[in-house]
Amino acid sequence: MSARRGGVADQVLASLSGSFPEIDWPLRGAYNLERMIVHGRRRAAEMREVALTVEALGLPADMVHACVEWQERIGQTGADPGEDVLETRLDAVLKTL
C-alpha cells in the first residue's frame, strides 16, 4: 500500500520478481489482500491469542501486536475486494484508510 500510494508499486513488484521469479507477485498480493479484507477481524482475534501465548513464554510480542492492528484495520475497511487485481484492491483499501 505504501508503494502504491508512493507511486513506486511497479518498481517494488519488479524488485520482488527479480528476487523471487517463481512467484507471481501481483497475483499473490491480490490474493493476500483479499484474505485480509475478508478475514482480517477473525485473524486479528486469533493473533491476539498468539500474543498472549508469546508473552506467557516471556518473549516480547511486538510483531504480533502490529499484525493484530494491521489485520483489524484492513478487516474493518469494508472495502469490496472486487476482482483479482492487485491495483484495484489496493486502491479500494487505500480509499478507506
pLDDT digits (tens, 9 = 90+) for 6-32: 999 999 999 999 999 999 999 999 999
pLDDT of residue 85: 96
Cβ count near 21 (within 10 Å): 9
List, for the chain, all residue ranges whose pLDDT scores fall below the cut of 70: none
pLDDT of residue 83: 92
CB-count burial class (<10 Å; 0-12, 13-18, 19+) for 40: buried
Residue 33: which of 93, 97, 78, 76 has the closest Cα?
93
d(CA 9, CA 72): 23
pLDDT of residue 37: 97
pLDDT of residue 20: 97
Residue 86: which of 12, 4, 26, 43 has the closest Cα?
26
pLDDT of residue 3: 97
Mean pLDDT taken over the chain:
97
